Amino acid sequence: MLFEEPVLIYGAGREALSTRAFLKAVQPDLKVFVTVDSGTADIPDTAFMAPEDIKDAIRAHRFGDIIKSPGVSRYKPVFDIARDAGIAVTSNLNLWGHTYRDGRTVIAITGTKGKSTTATLLHLMLTRSRIDAGLAGNVGLAPLDIADKHAVVIFELSSYQTADMNFLPDIAAVTNLYPEHVDWHGSVERYYADKLHLIDRDGGFPVALGAGAKGNALVAKATRDHRRLLRDLTSDEQLAVESAAARSRLRGAHNLDNALLAAQIALAAGATLDGIVDGIRAFTPLPHRLEEHKLGGMTFVDDSISTTPEATKAALAAYPGRRLALIAGGHERAQDYGDLAERLAGYGVTMLACLPVTGERLATATARAAPEITVLTPPDLEAAMKALVAHKDAFDAVILSPGAPSYNQFKNFEERGDRFVALAKALFAETPA
């Protein structure tokens, strides 16, 4: 793809850097602007354009295309104005599709939770089966960075990316579907539609569904025809996956579901059962996803990736029979904490530290549903950890599984998780672990 007019990159994160590198390689002399809604725009070889100047720039046709980063909502009014003016809005993913799609097998995986683990497991299963496979999207490389390096490309895709994905996969998968990212999509209904755009398309490509997607009426409608579904695992295949998972570092029933889904896709892509088992055995928990740290005779679980109540429930269910202190709460995305609050006591939660701002609603719901749980309302993560020190006889594991994004107090979930681990080491470690 060659651009005849200057280009505006909207966003300045990992994908924006990848996009700029791609443009530099294919069109070294192309004029490139960059804009961000907040923060800095440290993208090399670009001219900064303030967001308030974009409408005037559109009217003056100072650029011919906008390449949008995933975190920037496609529903911002400025993009409608651009399209009406004949200025195309595309993405790093769609540029990959236009440039590198032909000649490659594409496997695309989405879902509200579990997609990163499923995609990582699938990549291990394929490579252990001696299949030339690469991993890109939200895990692995940015799409344009993986380029044409592999015969099979696995994309782990958020709803931000599936919303306007304009090429078809060879195999698509949906792990589950719960409300999330309402602020980006504008409504739960549009979130569902954008997420399911991955499979709700012409083309007849096969579809695999995780345990949390099966039986969902919206997923069934988007699948269109049950004959598109990949075959179920045989009893022997399922037993092999379950046995390997039981001896692996995968924790929790939800991660067994992820392994079963990955195996189903892997077999369809040509993997061997031995390669699938080897892939499960080789799996290392992804950073900030039920990542365990043993300190001072206690277990600390960094599950900062958790941004929904459903993810928090899955994390708690992975530690049966334990007395748990849960740290939850974060950025407001209209999460419903009613069911989570009612289940906390059954999961073994004895202490609950609720962080602003959604923690306020969780604290209220928990006080009503489970008054036996001690509820703390600290102003931030550091205060929460310090408060737990005074109650450490009441639990033997601390889980940071916020059930909400981090943006109100941290740059991202990685920063939140790193801070949790650092505080645990500073406040609870008796001896180096």
Annotated binding site for ATP: 111-117
Whose tokens are 């850097």? That residue is: 17
* Token pair recorded at residue 25: 């390689």
* Token pair recorded at residue 277: 């088992």
Cα–Cα distance for residue pair 144/164, rounded to 1 Å: 16
Q: How far is CA 309 from CA 9, 157, 220, 403, in A?
A: 34, 20, 23, 5
Q: How far is CA 33 from CA 4, 69, 145, in A?
A: 14, 14, 20
Cβ partners under 8 Å of residue 5, min gap 6: 61, 63, 64, 65
Cα–Cα distance for residue pair 347/139, rounded to 1 Å: 30
* Token pair recorded at residue 122: 């699938």
> What distance lies between CA 356 and its chain's CA centroid?
22
Exposed e or buried b per residue across 142-159, where buried means at least 16 C-beta atoms within 10 angstroms of its C-beta: bbbbbbeebebbbbbbbb
Cα–Cα distance for residue pair 233/158, rounded to 1 Å: 26
Q: Is the peptide bond before 219 cis (omega within 30 degrees of 0)?
A: no
Asked if residues 340 and 309 have their Cβ atoms less than 8 Å apart, the reply is: yes
Asked if residues 113 and 107 have their Cβ atoms less than 8 Å apart, the reply is: no
Task: Give the pairing of strands 298-302 and 397-400.
Answer: parallel
Query: For 245, how many CA atoms within 13 A lie in the half-sphere containing its CB?
Result: 23
CB neighbour class for 294 (10 Å; exposed up to 12, middle 13-18, buried from 19): exposed
Q: Which residues are annotated as a binding site?
A: 111-117
Cα–Cα distance for residue pair 139/122, rounded to 1 Å: 12
CB neighbour class for 336 (10 Å; exposed up to 12, middle 13-18, buried from 19): middle
Cα–Cα distance for residue pair 120/248, rounded to 1 Å: 14
